[in-house]
Amino acid sequence: MIFKWLKGPEYLMKKILLLTTGGTIASEPTKEGLAPGMDGNEFAAYLSGLSVNHQIQIKNLYQLDSSNIQPEEWQGMARAVADEFQQYDGIVMTHGTDTMAYTASMLSFMLQNLPVPVVLTGSQLPIRHPLSDGFENLRCAFAMASSGRAGVFVAFDRKIMLGTRAVKVRTTGFDAFESVNCPYAAVVDSAGLNLNEAVLPKPSGNFQLIDNLCDNVILIKLTPGLNPEIFDMLLKMRYRGIVIEAFGAGGLNFIRRDLISKLHQIVQAGITVVVCSQCLYERSDFTIYQAGQKALESGVLQAYDMTTEAAVTKLMWALGQTDRPEEIRQIFSTCYAGEVSLT
């Protein structure tokens, strides 16, 4: 990997917008457990070290546990970035860790050809806690936001990941996120912020905010013996998209409980079905096994090496733009933000 070290005036005193949305980093103890309690202005007391090298403006968007971040909040975040980015060199967004990967993926699709860095970060301990990891995560996020490298990123534990590749893999460890099926966009070590230019997005046109989405999408993890009739219920509930985490490289049962025939019926009824792997690493390939080839014949779409979070949000985003199967297939055949390796 080829890295570049950004240092000195190249990234000093950049103008950075801090958008706060709640999460653990902003939480305080209550009788019912930790809950977001700090607003954006209260963060100012914890940014004195960062303000030496950055001009910081703070805007409070939400005070939510990230379990309560939903499609409406994604649209609000994307619109806030679209309204503000021209006034800043970069944007940092604090966010709860539990759904950060979903938010980062969705923003990557909504903010097409974004010309500045937008960096999501948070912490495993509240920033008021004396041992919080929030300080270090913020420092790394601000460094990336000052880098001039466009795109949506997640900064955590001295690692910078593409927004479409970050996955939360630990519940309590400070190294909570990993970049799945993609090298880090940057790492922070004794040499500073080391960028991997081969991973960084390359804007190819004018910025576009494309924030329409469809929230009638469901994720199902395949288990041995799953009753295919569950998909009839989803059809009655008027779901428009289904993401299935299949076995291995793309296995789906078709003996006794014929899931593949049922999926064919669902696709014919107008529901888009995307299939990814339950395995965290490497790609699905439906051409290897009989079950996979039968699935392709039924009309499902492959997610290849996409994360589950990226597959779900990309399907929601695609269905927000069109209900035409051929156009949705074209969207899934296009890499927009480093989310998939198509070769």
pLDDT at residue number 3: 39
**Residue 288, pLDDT score:** 61
Token pair recorded at residue 326 = 């051929």
Domains and CATH numbers, the chain: 3-207 (3.40.50.1170), 217-332 (3.40.50.40)
The residue type at 330: Q
Task: Say if residues 286 and 295 touch (Cβ distance below 8 Å).
Answer: yes
Sort residue 87 into left (φ over 0), alpha (ψ -120 to 50) or beta.
alpha
Would you give the end-to-end CA distance of the chain in angstroms? Answer: 20
Q: 246-272 b/e with 16+ CB inside 10 Å = b?
A: bbebbbbbbeeeebbebbbebbeeebb
Model pLDDT, residue 87: 96
Distance of CA 279 to the CA centre of its chain: 18
CA-to-CA distance for 309 and 274, rounded, in angstroms? 12
pTM attached to this predicted model? 0.92
- Positions annotated as catalytic residues are 24
pLDDT value, residue 2: 39
CB neighbourhood size of 158 (10 A): 18
Q: 68 phi and psi, to 5 degrees?
A: -100, 5
pLDDT, tens digit only, all 343 positions of the chain: 333 444 445 545 899 999 999 999 998 888 888 888 888 778 888 887 887 889 999 999 999 999 999 999 999 999 999 999 999 999 999 999 999 999 999 999 999 999 999 999 999 999 999 999 999 999 999 999 999 999 999 999 999 999 999 999 999 999 999 999 999 999 999 889 999 999 999 888 999 999 999 999 999 998 998 899 999 999 899 999 999 998 877 667 676 877 888 888 899 899 999 999 888 888 877 666 566 666 666 678 999 999 999 999 999 999 999 999 999 999 999 999 999 997 7
Question: Coil, helix or strand for 57?
Answer: strand
DSSP annotation of 12 reads T
Instruction: Give the span between the Cα atoms of 276 and 109, in whole angstroms.
Output: 19
Which residues have C-beta within 8 Å of that of residue 163, sequence separation ≥ 6? 104, 105, 107, 108, 118, 120, 151, 152, 153, 154, 337
Contact 293, 258 (CB under 8 A): no
Q: Where does residue 342 rank: exposed (0-12), middle (13-18), buried (19+ CB within 10 A)?
A: exposed
Asked if residue 77 lies in contact with residue 84, where contact means CB atoms within 8 angstroms, the answer is: no
The tokens for 84 are 């503000």
What is the rounded CA–CA span in Å between residue 143 and residue 45? 19
- Distance in angstroms (rounded) separating the CA atoms of residues 106 and 309: 9
